[in-house]
């Protein structure tokens, strides 16, 4: 039986959020880099 999928969780810092309440596009790359 294969092992369960390992997931990564973290908290998005407030400075990564734009004025619409969405995560700033520039930080997606950083978030994915940290998760690998």
* Per-residue model confidence as pLDDT tens digits over 1-36: 788 887 877 889 999 999 999 999 889 888 888 877
HSE (CB half, 13 Å, CA atoms) of 15?
0
- The per-residue pLDDT for 20 is 94
Please check whether residue 10 is in contact with residue 23, taking contact to mean a CB–CB distance below 8 angstroms.
no
Give the global pTM.
0.57
Q: If we measure between CA atoms, which residue out of 32, 31, 30, 12 comes closest to residue 22?
A: 12
- The per-residue pLDDT for 10 is 82
The domain of 31 spans 1-36
Q: What is the number of domains present in the chain?
A: 1
Please check whether residue 35 is in contact with residue 8, taking contact to mean a CB–CB distance below 8 angstroms.
yes
């Amino acid at each position: 039986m294969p092992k369960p999928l390992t997931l990564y969780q973290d908290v998005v810092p407030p400075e990564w959020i734009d004025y619409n309440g969405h995560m700033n596009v520039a930080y997606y790359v950083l978030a994915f880099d940290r998760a690998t």
